[in-house]
Amino acid sequence: MNQPTVVIVSDDPEFSGAISSRWQQDRGSPAFTLVSGDLCNGLSPETFDLVIVGNVRDDLQSSVIKTLEQSGKPVLLVQDETAVEEKHPRLLTLARHEGWLETLVLLASEVLRRYEAVTRLRRAEQTNAVLERQAALGRYVIDMRHNLNNALTSILGNSELLLLDAKGLPAQPHSQVETIRNMALRVNEILQRFSSLEKELTVAARQNESEIKSKSHAAAAW
Protein backbone atom coordinates (compact mmCIF):
# COMPACT_ATOMS: atom_id res chain seq x y z
CA MET A 1 0.00 0.00 0.00
CA ASN A 2 1.32 3.44 -0.95
CA GLN A 3 1.54 6.07 1.76
CA PRO A 4 -1.86 7.82 1.92
CA THR A 5 -2.16 11.59 1.95
CA VAL A 6 -4.34 13.45 4.44
CA VAL A 7 -5.33 17.06 3.84
CA ILE A 8 -5.98 19.15 6.95
CA VAL A 9 -8.14 22.18 6.16
CA SER A 10 -7.98 24.74 8.94
CA ASP A 11 -7.40 28.43 9.57
CA ASP A 12 -5.75 27.55 12.88
CA PRO A 13 -2.09 26.42 12.59
CA GLU A 14 -2.20 24.94 16.08
CA PHE A 15 -5.09 22.65 15.10
CA SER A 16 -3.25 21.35 12.03
CA GLY A 17 0.04 21.03 13.90
CA ALA A 18 -1.52 19.10 16.77
CA ILE A 19 -3.04 16.50 14.45
CA SER A 20 0.03 15.98 12.27
CA SER A 21 2.39 15.88 15.28
CA ARG A 22 0.29 13.33 17.13
CA TRP A 23 -0.29 11.10 14.11
CA GLN A 24 3.37 11.08 13.13
CA GLN A 25 4.14 9.37 16.42
CA ASP A 26 2.48 6.21 15.07
CA ARG A 27 4.04 3.83 12.59
CA GLY A 28 2.73 4.10 9.06
CA SER A 29 1.48 7.64 9.50
CA PRO A 30 0.23 9.34 6.31
CA ALA A 31 1.68 12.31 4.49
CA PHE A 32 0.04 15.63 5.36
CA THR A 33 -0.96 18.66 3.34
CA LEU A 34 -2.02 21.73 5.31
CA VAL A 35 -4.49 24.09 3.62
CA SER A 36 -6.42 27.12 4.82
CA GLY A 37 -10.17 27.35 4.31
CA ASP A 38 -10.01 29.86 1.48
CA LEU A 39 -7.62 27.70 -0.57
CA CYS A 40 -9.36 24.33 -0.48
CA ASN A 41 -11.13 24.98 -3.81
CA GLY A 42 -7.84 24.34 -5.56
CA LEU A 43 -7.45 20.81 -4.20
CA SER A 44 -7.47 17.97 -6.72
CA PRO A 45 -9.25 14.79 -5.54
CA GLU A 46 -6.45 12.75 -7.11
CA THR A 47 -3.89 14.16 -4.67
CA PHE A 48 -5.38 13.05 -1.33
CA ASP A 49 -7.24 10.18 0.36
CA LEU A 50 -8.87 11.87 3.37
CA VAL A 51 -9.73 15.41 4.47
CA ILE A 52 -9.88 16.61 8.07
CA VAL A 53 -11.64 19.94 8.59
CA GLY A 54 -11.55 21.98 11.76
CA ASN A 55 -11.32 25.56 13.03
CA VAL A 56 -12.34 27.03 9.68
CA ARG A 57 -13.81 30.53 9.59
CA ASP A 58 -17.58 30.47 10.11
CA ASP A 59 -18.26 32.26 6.83
CA LEU A 60 -16.25 29.63 4.91
CA GLN A 61 -17.16 26.37 6.62
CA SER A 62 -20.35 25.63 4.67
CA SER A 63 -18.74 26.21 1.27
CA VAL A 64 -15.61 24.30 2.31
CA ILE A 65 -17.63 21.24 3.32
CA LYS A 66 -19.72 21.37 0.13
CA THR A 67 -16.61 21.59 -2.04
CA LEU A 68 -14.85 18.73 -0.27
CA GLU A 69 -17.89 16.45 -0.34
CA GLN A 70 -17.99 16.82 -4.13
CA SER A 71 -14.49 15.34 -4.29
CA GLY A 72 -15.86 11.90 -3.43
CA LYS A 73 -13.20 11.39 -0.78
CA PRO A 74 -13.93 10.85 2.96
CA VAL A 75 -14.34 14.09 4.92
CA LEU A 76 -13.99 14.24 8.71
CA LEU A 77 -15.15 17.38 10.50
CA VAL A 78 -13.99 18.27 14.01
CA GLN A 79 -16.15 20.82 15.80
CA ASP A 80 -17.74 21.72 19.12
CA GLU A 81 -21.23 20.65 18.02
CA THR A 82 -22.60 18.15 15.51
CA ALA A 83 -25.62 19.99 14.08
CA VAL A 84 -23.95 19.99 10.68
CA GLU A 85 -24.81 16.29 10.36
CA GLU A 86 -28.40 17.19 9.53
CA LYS A 87 -27.36 19.08 6.38
CA HIS A 88 -24.52 16.72 5.44
CA PRO A 89 -25.50 13.16 6.43
CA ARG A 90 -22.49 11.64 4.61
CA LEU A 91 -20.05 13.79 6.57
CA LEU A 92 -18.09 12.16 9.38
CA THR A 93 -18.12 14.38 12.45
CA LEU A 94 -16.20 14.30 15.69
CA ALA A 95 -17.21 16.46 18.63
CA ARG A 96 -14.32 18.16 20.35
CA HIS A 97 -14.01 16.75 23.86
CA GLU A 98 -11.28 15.62 26.21
CA GLY A 99 -9.13 13.12 24.36
CA TRP A 100 -10.57 14.05 20.97
CA LEU A 101 -7.13 13.98 19.36
CA GLU A 102 -6.58 10.31 20.17
CA THR A 103 -10.08 9.50 18.95
CA LEU A 104 -9.47 11.43 15.76
CA VAL A 105 -6.31 9.50 14.92
CA LEU A 106 -8.02 6.16 15.55
CA LEU A 107 -11.11 7.10 13.53
CA ALA A 108 -9.13 8.61 10.64
CA SER A 109 -6.82 5.57 10.49
CA GLU A 110 -9.81 3.27 10.22
CA VAL A 111 -11.37 5.46 7.52
CA LEU A 112 -8.16 5.26 5.48
CA ARG A 113 -8.02 1.47 5.82
CA ARG A 114 -11.62 1.10 4.68
CA TYR A 115 -11.16 3.54 1.82
CA GLU A 116 -8.10 1.61 0.63
CA ALA A 117 -10.05 -1.66 0.80
CA VAL A 118 -12.93 -0.19 -1.23
CA THR A 119 -10.49 1.24 -3.78
CA ARG A 120 -8.80 -2.14 -4.20
CA LEU A 121 -12.18 -3.83 -4.60
CA ARG A 122 -13.22 -1.40 -7.33
CA ARG A 123 -9.94 -1.90 -9.16
CA ALA A 124 -10.38 -5.66 -8.93
CA GLU A 125 -13.93 -5.39 -10.28
CA GLN A 126 -12.72 -3.26 -13.21
CA THR A 127 -9.93 -5.71 -13.97
CA ASN A 128 -12.35 -8.61 -13.75
CA ALA A 129 -14.76 -6.88 -16.14
CA VAL A 130 -11.96 -6.44 -18.70
CA LEU A 131 -10.90 -10.07 -18.31
CA GLU A 132 -14.48 -11.25 -18.74
CA ARG A 133 -14.81 -9.30 -22.00
CA GLN A 134 -11.54 -10.74 -23.26
CA ALA A 135 -12.61 -14.24 -22.23
CA ALA A 136 -15.92 -13.81 -24.06
CA LEU A 137 -14.07 -12.75 -27.19
CA GLY A 138 -11.73 -15.73 -26.87
CA ARG A 139 -14.66 -18.13 -26.45
CA TYR A 140 -16.34 -16.65 -29.53
CA VAL A 141 -13.19 -17.12 -31.63
CA ILE A 142 -12.84 -20.71 -30.43
CA ASP A 143 -16.52 -21.43 -31.12
CA MET A 144 -16.22 -19.97 -34.62
CA ARG A 145 -12.99 -21.84 -35.36
CA HIS A 146 -14.81 -24.79 -36.94
CA ASN A 147 -16.74 -22.54 -39.33
CA LEU A 148 -13.57 -20.65 -40.21
CA ASN A 149 -11.73 -23.88 -40.88
CA ASN A 150 -14.49 -25.00 -43.25
CA ALA A 151 -14.34 -21.69 -45.11
CA LEU A 152 -10.55 -21.83 -45.32
CA THR A 153 -10.62 -25.40 -46.60
CA SER A 154 -12.91 -24.30 -49.41
CA ILE A 155 -10.74 -21.28 -50.26
CA LEU A 156 -7.52 -23.29 -50.20
CA GLY A 157 -9.00 -26.15 -52.20
CA ASN A 158 -10.36 -23.95 -54.96
CA SER A 159 -7.24 -21.81 -55.15
CA GLU A 160 -5.08 -24.94 -55.45
CA LEU A 161 -7.31 -26.25 -58.26
CA LEU A 162 -6.99 -22.96 -60.10
CA LEU A 163 -3.22 -22.98 -59.70
CA LEU A 164 -3.00 -26.55 -61.04
CA ASP A 165 -4.45 -25.21 -64.27
CA ALA A 166 -1.77 -22.52 -64.48
CA LYS A 167 -1.70 -22.60 -68.28
CA GLY A 168 -5.31 -21.51 -68.43
CA LEU A 169 -4.68 -18.41 -66.29
CA PRO A 170 -3.14 -15.16 -67.46
CA ALA A 171 -0.23 -13.83 -65.40
CA GLN A 172 -2.16 -11.28 -63.32
CA PRO A 173 -5.08 -13.58 -62.29
CA HIS A 174 -2.54 -16.31 -61.54
CA SER A 175 -0.70 -13.96 -59.18
CA GLN A 176 -3.96 -12.95 -57.51
CA VAL A 177 -4.96 -16.58 -56.92
CA GLU A 178 -1.54 -17.23 -55.37
CA THR A 179 -2.07 -14.28 -53.04
CA ILE A 180 -5.47 -15.67 -52.00
CA ARG A 181 -3.90 -19.08 -51.34
CA ASN A 182 -1.01 -17.61 -49.33
CA MET A 183 -3.25 -15.38 -47.21
CA ALA A 184 -5.54 -18.33 -46.50
CA LEU A 185 -2.51 -20.30 -45.32
CA ARG A 186 -1.56 -17.47 -42.97
CA VAL A 187 -5.06 -17.37 -41.51
CA ASN A 188 -4.90 -21.12 -41.05
CA GLU A 189 -1.63 -20.74 -39.10
CA ILE A 190 -3.31 -18.22 -36.80
CA LEU A 191 -6.19 -20.61 -36.17
CA GLN A 192 -3.72 -23.36 -35.36
CA ARG A 193 -2.17 -21.07 -32.75
CA PHE A 194 -5.61 -20.58 -31.20
CA SER A 195 -5.96 -24.36 -30.98
CA SER A 196 -2.57 -24.63 -29.29
CA LEU A 197 -3.43 -21.81 -26.89
CA GLU A 198 -6.72 -23.47 -25.97
CA LYS A 199 -4.89 -26.68 -25.09
CA GLU A 200 -2.31 -24.79 -23.00
CA LEU A 201 -5.03 -22.93 -21.12
CA THR A 202 -6.90 -26.17 -20.47
CA VAL A 203 -3.76 -27.83 -19.06
CA ALA A 204 -2.96 -24.76 -16.94
CA ALA A 205 -6.51 -24.65 -15.57
CA ARG A 206 -6.34 -28.34 -14.61
CA GLN A 207 -2.97 -27.85 -12.91
CA ASN A 208 -4.28 -24.84 -11.01
CA GLU A 209 -7.36 -26.77 -9.92
CA SER A 210 -5.17 -29.63 -8.77
CA GLU A 211 -2.94 -27.29 -6.75
CA ILE A 212 -5.96 -25.68 -5.10
CA LYS A 213 -7.32 -29.10 -4.12
CA SER A 214 -3.93 -30.14 -2.73
CA LYS A 215 -3.68 -26.98 -0.65
CA SER A 216 -7.25 -27.47 0.60
CA HIS A 217 -6.52 -31.03 1.67
CA ALA A 218 -3.31 -29.94 3.37
CA ALA A 219 -5.13 -27.19 5.22
CA ALA A 220 -7.84 -29.61 6.31
CA ALA A 221 -5.25 -32.08 7.55
CA TRP A 222 -3.49 -29.33 9.49
Strand, coil or helix: 73: coil
Q: How does pLDDT run across 161-199, given as a tens digit for each residue?
A: 888 876 666 778 888 888 888 888 888 888 777 766 666
The average pLDDT across 3-15 equals 93
3-class DSSP state of 6: strand
pLDDT digits (tens, 9 = 90+) for 99-127: 899 999 999 999 999 888 888 888 888 88
Pairing of strands 31-35, 50-54: unpaired
Measured CA to CA, the distance from residue 195 to residue 138 in angstroms comes to 11
**Which has more confidence, 102 or 138?**
102
Instruction: Inform me whether the pLDDT recorded for 82 exceeds 60.
Output: no
Give mean pLDDT, residues 62-88: 78
Bridge partners of residue 54, in order along the sequence: 78
Which residues lie closer than 8 Å to 129 by C-beta, 6 or more apart?
A: none
Q: Among 98, 4, 99, 87, which Cα is nearest to 52's?
A: 4
Query: pTM to 2 decimals?
Result: 0.59
